[in-house]
Amino acid sequence: MLTKNFGRNLINAFAVTAMLATTSAASTAVAQDANAVVMKNFDFAPMSITVKVGSSVTWKNLDGEPHTVTSVDGLFRSGALDQNDSFTFKFDKPGTYKYLCSIHPRMMASVVVQ
């Protein structure tokens, strides 16, 4: 019984994985220009995101406290983002762009553009 279930689960697992792989490949191709970062619990998530030159990153604040997306080198600055506000910036040049929240500067993250 156990073996039968295990076998079935394994096949299902493979099927789901295969499906996921296809789906994510498809979504990568379609959503190449939309890369998302959220502010949640006083953190940027993910803390590092890698995107292609010419693509945009969209930040969304999920916290009850406003945050900002402020680049260390002055390239981009969102101003105060209230809960559920978003900010999008398009990266035209390769490089590593560090940024922080200017209201809570311990919140630091980066965008790697390749």
Binding site for other proteins (CB under 8 A): 41-43, 63-66, 68, 70, 77, 79-80, 82-83, 102-106, 108
**Dist. CA 56–CA 16, nearest whole Å:** 30
* Closer CB to other proteins, 63 or 111, in the complex: 63
The least CB distance from residue 76 to other proteins, in Å, is 11
Q: Angle CA(104)–CA(90)–CA(100) in degrees, nearest 5?
A: 10
The least CB distance from residue 41 to other proteins, in Å, is 4
* Closer CB to other proteins, 96 or 114, in the complex: 96
* Closer CB to other proteins, 34 or 47, in the complex: 47
Three-state helix/strand/coil letters over 36-72: EEEEECCEEECCEEEECCCCEEEEEECCCCCECCEEC
Q: What is the C-alpha radius of gyration for the chain, rounded to an integer number of angstroms?
A: 19
The least CB distance from residue 88 to other proteins, in Å, is 18
